[in-house]
Amino acid sequence: MAALVIVLALFFDFTNGFHDTANAMATPIATGAIKPKTAVALAAALNLVGAFLSTEVAKTVSGGIIREGSDGVHITPEIIFAGLMGAILWNMFTWLKGLPSSSSHALFGGLIGAAVVGIGVYSVNFDTVMLKVILPAVFAPVIAGGVAYICTRLAYALTSRHDPETGDKLTQKRGGFRTGQIFTSSLVALAHGTNDAQKTMGIITLVLIASGTQPAGSGPEFWVIAACALAIAIGTYSGGWRIIRTMGSGLTEVKPAQGFSAETSTAAAILASSHLGFALSTTQVASGSVIGSGLGRKGTTVRWGMVGKIATGWLFTLPAAAVVGALTALLVGTGPVGTAIAIAFGIGTIVAMFVYSRKSHVSHANAVEVEEAGTAVRFQKKKKASKAPKATNNEVQE
């Protein structure tokens, strides 16, 4: 069972990777800063590196949310298996719908539901859940959105150009922000690796502690870190194009200055939370930043209908995963037959969702419309080569 749970945990890490690729790369893909396939390859490499930089979040997962034995409560691999099943099924469902929900909260919800049913309410450290999960979930996207709003307003104000004599607005030269997005999106991908890969490290460490192969209170071993880093990198490289479509164009029309501001805000929030050991939802932070940047640019429309759908997904993530985790724990508790039924149901549901997704296939070719941004890049290169007069189309330069 411990080996089975470790395999399932790595598969969750894989789903986490493709579920959260959009957090770093949706906006630079939408603005044409990076080609889609190049973007996911870059994100995968940086997720791999980032996973080795910190283990504070892993310690929060392995020894903070579920009591691991210091007070007599012993979580079992079966309970962890049930929690992972809840998290994976919710991840797959929200991916199918193109909703950037929180893989982190799905994981915590599944674990909490399974632990409450399999052990009891006393097995969950609700103080840690409130301090390091719930409160960051409430405040992080709001703070990141506010910072992105301010950064966007500053970016447009500082780069605004007017004729000194007439005061007329001149062509705005903001193409440099597109180049800057390469660095800011890379920083988000690196930060994502430092935060999200650690959650699976914490789960595997919890399994090893529960099975008696690792002492309570210890951190993840090197092989655990390496395996989780590789799993999330492979998942990231696979794309997750449905959620990239939502983040890149479903919330608001993204321009380079906005994308630059949103990515900077997202990276700052994630890196700070990783340092403090907060198991932050990188998806919520990235979504909040994109919305804030959209509000910060005059004339931009935020699609509040999509925002409402995403917020609803956030609201139901933890309880929905908890329900699935609890039901799975009930099945597993009946013995090997119940475990086999849970495995068959999980595999069947995942396969069914994947087959259904092929009816409306989304790939790098149709995830986000980048024709306008691509035209702008080609126009600038042509202008440089021919030394033609400056362009007067503000939209192209933005």
Transcribe 302-355 into DSSP letters: B-HHHHHHHHHHHHHHHHHHHHHHHHHHHHHTT-HHHHHHHHHHHHHHHHHHHH
Average pLDDT on 195-203 reads 81
Segment of 210-214, 226-230, 250-254 carrying the highest mean pLDDT: 226-230
As a whole number, the mean pLDDT across the chain is 80
Alpha carbons 289 and 66: distance in angstroms, whole number? 31
List beta partners, residue 124. 66
Q: How is residue 112 written in tokens?
A: 């909490």
Give 344 or 385, the one with higher predicted confidence: 344
Band of the pLDDT at 110, cuts 50, 70, 90?
very high
Q: Cβ(120)–Cβ(332) under 8 Å?
A: no
Radius of gyration of the chain (CA): 22
The predicted pLDDT at position 372 comes to: 46
Average pLDDT on 252-260 reads 83
The predicted pLDDT at position 174 comes to: 66
The predicted pLDDT at position 6 comes to: 93
Please determine, for residue 329, whether its predicted confidence score (pLDDT) is greater than 90. yes
The predicted pLDDT at position 168 comes to: 63
Alpha carbons 173 and 12: distance in angstroms, whole number? 43
What is the per-residue burial (b if ≥16 Cβ within 10 Å, else e) of 99-112? bbbbbbbbbbbbbb
Please determine, for residue 245, whether its predicted confidence score (pLDDT) is greater than 70. yes
pLDDT-wise least confident of 66-80, 181-195, 214-228: 66-80
Please determine, for residue 373, whether its predicted confidence score (pLDDT) is greater than 80. no
pLDDT-wise least confident of 215-229, 270-284, 325-339: 270-284
The predicted pLDDT at position 308 comes to: 87
Look at residues 220, 218, 240 and name the one whose alpha carbon lies nearest to residue 229.
220
Band of the pLDDT at 171, cuts 50, 70, 90?
low
236 CA to centre of own chain: 10
Count other C-beta atoms under 10 Å from residue 261's C-beta: 32
Band of the pLDDT at 62, cuts 50, 70, 90?
low
pLDDT-wise least confident of 26-40, 105-119, 267-281: 267-281
pLDDT-wise least confident of 55-69, 96-110, 183-197: 55-69
Alpha carbons 137 and 139: distance in angstroms, whole number? 6
The predicted pLDDT at position 45 comes to: 92
Q: How many residues appear in the chain?
A: 398
Alpha carbons 51 and 344: distance in angstroms, whole number? 31
Please determine, for residue 397, whether its predicted confidence score (pLDDT) is greater than 80. no
pLDDT-wise least confident of 40-49, 147-156, 291-300: 291-300
Query: In 3-state terms, what secondary structure has residue 164?
Result: coil
Band of the pLDDT at 165, cuts 50, 70, 90?
low
Alpha carbons 58 and 203: distance in angstroms, whole number? 8
Please determine, for residue 135, whether its predicted confidence score (pLDDT) is greater than 50. yes
Q: Cβ(147)–Cβ(268) under 8 Å?
A: yes
CA dihedral 49, 52, 53, 59 (to 10 degrees): 140
Count other C-beta atoms under 10 Å from residue 241's C-beta: 25
Helices of type H across the chain: 2-31, 36-50, 56-60, 77-97, 103-118, 126-129, 135-158, 176-210, 222-237, 241-245, 256-276, 282-296, 304-332, 336-357, 371-386, 394-397
352 CA to centre of own chain: 24
Tell me whether residue 145 is exposed, middle or buried, using C-beta atoms within 10 angstroms of its C-beta: 0 to 12, 13 to 18, 19 or more: buried
pLDDT-wise least confident of 14-28, 220-234, 333-347, 370-384: 370-384
Band of the pLDDT at 223, cuts 50, 70, 90?
very high
Please determine, for residue 298, whether its predicted confidence score (pLDDT) is greater than 70. yes
* 193 contact partners, CB below 8 Å, separation of at least 6: 46, 47, 48, 49, 50, 51, 53, 229, 232, 233
Average pLDDT on 340-345 reads 94
Query: In 3-state terms, what secondary structure has residue 46?
Result: helix
CA distances from 370 to 182, 249, 364, 367 (A): 16, 10, 11, 9
Sign, CA dihedral 189-196-340-95, equals: negative
Average pLDDT on 30-34 reads 83
List beta partners, residue 180. none
Average pLDDT on 197-221 reads 81
Count other C-beta atoms under 10 Å from residue 69's C-beta: 16
The predicted pLDDT at position 374 comes to: 43
> Which amino acid, 339?
T
